[in-house]
A and B are shown apart, each in its own frame.
Chain A
Amino acid sequence: MSVKPWRRRVGEFMSRISVTVDGVSYQDDVEPRTLLVHYLREQLGKTGTVVGCDTSNCGACTVHLDGRSVKSCSLLAVQTDGHEVTTIEGLSTDGELHPMQKAFHENHALQCGFCTPGMIMQSIDFVQDNPSPSDEEVRHGLEGNLCRCTGYQNIVKAVQAAASATAAGTEGGAR
């Protein structure tokens, strides 16, 4: 990922960035130190992406940058200048859930749901690389995302279900 230098256009302490988030283009002035997650939540109101820790361990803030998962607490907003960000809020299209969202719902892969946005974004990225993962592979693919409610078992099941649904070109499953 190329990172452009900060461009201080507005005031001494602000940088202007152009970034596409969930399909919408934004031009914003941000403090150079602003983390991507804070830009998303506080400036864009994209509160679907949440903060669960301050050490990049929990993965709750995971989003996609140009289609690949990143922890938005580990990236500065200025680093996304010229790039495309997708959050949990930009996943479903025309009211249709993404197959991964659907699989999380159908397999009861969430309880309190706080880790879920990050977990779903990471799972989508993982399945791109491994469309037919074993139990073990899913577990390793999600090791950077913590969940305190589910014990991960149904998350593993959901990721496998979404992977096979995508592979079969269907979105299967009962209500």
Chain B
Amino acid sequence: MTAVDERTTGETPQLEVGAARHRKEDQRLITGRTRWTDNMSLPGMLHMAMVRSPFAHARISSVDVDEAKRSPGVVAVITGSDLADVQGTLPNVWTITPEQKTPAHPSIAVDTVRFAGEIVACVVARTPAAARDAVELVDVDYDELPVVLDTVEALKDETLIHPDIGTNQSAHLVMDHQTESSVGDVDAVIEAARTDGIVFERRYEQQRLIPSFMEPRSMICDPTGEQTVLWSSTQIPHILRVLLAMSLGIPESKLRVIAPDVGGGFGGKLQVTPEEFITVLVARRLGKPCKYTETRSESLMAAHHGRAQHQKITLAARKDGTVTGLKAELIADMGAYLSLLGGGTPKLGAFMFNGIYKFDAYRFDLRTVFTNTAWTDAYRGAGRPEATFAIERIMDDFAHELGMDPLELRAKNWITHEEFPFTSVAGLEYDSGNYEAATAKAKELFGYDELRREQERRRADNDQVQLGIGVSTFTEMCGLAPSRTLGALAYAAGGWEHASIRMLPTGTVEVVTGVTPHGQGHETAWSQIVADRLGVPFENVEVLHGDTQIAHKGLDTYGSRSLVVGGIAVVKAVEKVIEKATVVAAHMLEASPGDIEFAEGRFSVRGTDQSKTLAEVAWAAFDAHDLPDGVEPSLDADAAFDPDTFSYPHGTHLCAVDVDTETGEVTIAKYVCVDDIGKVINPMIVEGQVHGGLVQGISQALFEEAVYDESGTLVTGSFVDYLVPSAPDLPHLTTDRTETPATTNELGVKGVGEAGTIASTPAVVNAVVDALRPWGVDDVPMPCSPHRVWQAVQGRSVGERTVTQPVNPETMQTDGSSGQLPTGDATGGDDR
């Protein structure tokens, strides 16, 4: 891949699609002329600051706001009781089982707080500093309640987080699938394997992560016009508008939501938040524009977290390594309340535990559970990284058990390229793929065989720094989503997308898209698509988005859906424009529309040299002096596109790590990935998405974890403690592609935004474990910090991880032999 201009030359027209166009959106971002929400100021605007609970579980016995109200510059102090009658409950849109328990979630806590960081009051003042000063003066009396932080503990129901629902379990979802060739359900398959095959069980832990978008969330509500306007640093202005209307009883037509420049999201801004509700309610109450911008500490504490799942995986196979059955039993931590997608996030994983392999029977068993922690929801990949981690980790473990090369075991079980379209055991039809090709290319780039030899050498030499090689061959479902499928999955909305093309009289084009970028480069990519299809210069296409008054319909950006759903809607709208313009052009050329052909921006009468440019036709439609009877004076067109199916990118990721067995330090020596995302609109943007995705996945493997202490205080409450990696923590990444076009959309494209994150985590952990196999290590919990790796080498249990664990110096071995390869049987070692 290359980051230079790849436009083709020669006789064929230069195509924008496929070219590494530099981004249109960069100019304002590199010169500081940005419109982040927090950059904006409105006349008479007031500033808000939140009073947040320091306790994870407590009754609020009183809130004294008198002193805060007397503080200079303070206009109002609003408590939960003040809003109790109007604030309603924050929405959850995914009832994953009919019996799901969905407790009320007030934006400002009224009588009970259920996690540390929950809002108990809001101060409104003339300046941000005055608001923050007064926060310190709000006197809240709390009666502490027992806290429950771990889901397994919570399932005992000894401490109830929502006593009104009588349990800490929100839902229990079971999905059972089997193919026609299966001997029965997954239990039958496992039983059969117990007598005449292999049954392999593992427990994996998906630690809690914090999305950590770089721009803290910010929102401004202006209630002074006919429409109440909310600017928010959100991924989902359209969904937010609908849900504000439904939840707060404001007519939707009286609401306008704008997502201006948004500084990253990664799922973390796919939320309808208490802060947004409060800003709207308070601004409307005071009749003045109000702004709230969170601090980073508030963001880490109270913006939703991701992952947080206990996994128990049972794999059944024949003795030759052919897999037959898979059971995934999950306990997913919802935090204190059900978020927008709530249990829907782990449910998305239900279709991906089987990965690229051919199982006969599969069961997915999910419990969603409340704890006294921050709520959880989508984080890049949302359900699919967790699933991919489990299947790719267990395939590596299983290969080791069988004494097989992990890639050979995978090849034995994956869907071969001749078998597409293939219906997976979870019931999805994968349209296309070529796992063999991606794997072959990755192996070559990686130097797989050579690195295996190097690994043997280091093992034989008892090298202090051992080499580990990790594999991850993944697919994922993205491009959310076919509306009917979402309906069948009990999601409250559809998954279509909308686009409009506005042909301006002078021949330039406005493209309105219902997806809402926050770093992905839609303005550039959509311009490339439209430039080719309409035959207009790239520069003459303007892409508009993110404002419900401009882009009035849409379902926003998440789930790697923008291109494969939103981009196709743009294509459909372009087709309608051409259809309409053909009629006008035919009239101008005194020909029948059937004789008109359109290419490279020009309508020609077939077999003649007569033609009109699109710009000429656009002007004719504008002046409308001579249009055919019954033809409207407009070439503009709208289209909504509902995909028939998901998108299935795939790829092979290979990771080599150096593990220092004395210090536990892990260094990524080499990372190679070959992704197949079908046709590519802009290879430069794709490569950037892959880099960023990979690093977030690598970071889960090695660095990141949200940690609570035993009282439920977030220990990783700032960037001092929550380890978002910086440049020296990370390796150079080698990325490449194979190209198997998707067969389910006109562009042949697949989603790419989440692929890197989904694939990379198991590749890295597999590599770490692979390095330590000679010590009998079969798992290192994430993140694989030096401490944990060192403990694994020492054969120690790593213990529970919801509680901070300082290294106890007394347990540190000073024995000079520690860290050395065990003598004798190299595959032996202890059973931890």
Q: Give A residues with C-beta under 8 Å from B.
A: 31, 38, 41-42, 46-55, 57-58, 60, 87-89, 91-92, 97, 101, 104-108, 110-117, 120, 135-136, 138-140, 142-157, 174-175
Contacts and interface: CB of A to CB of B under 8 A. Distances in A.
B588 to A, nearest CB: 35
Interface string B8-23: 0000000000000011
Interface size class of B (residues with CB under 8 A): 35 or more
B26 A110 contact: yes
Interface string B703-744: 000000000000000111000101110101100000000000
Interface stretch (B211-219, B306-314, B329-337): B211-219
Nearest to B698: A151
B695 A151 contact: yes
B266 A148 contact: yes
Contacts of B30: 88, 97, 101, 104-105, 110, 113, 116, 120
B181 interface: no
B22 A150 contact: no
Nearest to A155: B727
B264 A112 contact: yes
Nearest to A157: B3
A135 to B, nearest CB: 6
Contacts of A138: 727
A113 B753 CA distance: 17
Contacts of A89: 31-33
Contacts of A87: 32
23 contacts: A47-B39, A48-B34, A50-B34, A51-B38, A53-B718, A55-B718, A89-B33, A108-B23, A111-B519, A111-B520, A112-B213, A112-B264, A138-B727, A142-B727, A146-B724, A146-B726, A148-B212, A152-B695, A152-B730, A154-B687, A154-B691, A155-B727, A175-B5
A47 B32 contact: yes
A54 to B, nearest CB: 5
Given A108-B687, A148-B724, 6 more contacts: A50-B215, A55-B296, A120-B30, A143-B728, A151-B691, A152-B726
Contacts of B212: 148
A52 B212 CA distance: 10
B684 interface: yes
Contact of B720 (A55, A113, A139): A55
Contact of B263 (A42, A113, A152): A113
B764 interface: no
Interface in B237-267: 261-264, 266
- The 5 A-B residue pairs with the shortest CB-CB distance, nearest first, are A48-B32, A113-B29, A114-B263, A112-B519, A151-B695
Contacts of B3: 107-108, 154, 157
B22 A151 contact: no
A156 B36 contact: no
Contact of B733 (A54, A136, A144, A151): A151
Nearest to A140: B728
Q: Name B's interface SS.
A: loop
Nearest to A45: B41
Nearest to B734: A153
A114 B296 contact: no
Nearest to A91: B31
Given A111-B520, A148-B266, A116 B29 contact: yes
A55 B691 contact: no
A151 B726 contact: no
A109 B215 CA distance: 17
A155 B478 CA distance: 28
Contacts of A41: 39
B216 A47 contact: no
B295 interface: yes
Contacts of B22: 105-106, 108, 175
A106 to B, nearest CB: 6
B390 interface: no
A53 B721 CA distance: 12
Nearest to B722: A57
Given A146-B719, A151-B733, A114 B214 contact: yes
Contacts of A57: 718-720
Interface in B494-520: 518-520
A112 B719 contact: no
A175 B724 CA distance: 33
A16 to B, nearest CB: 19
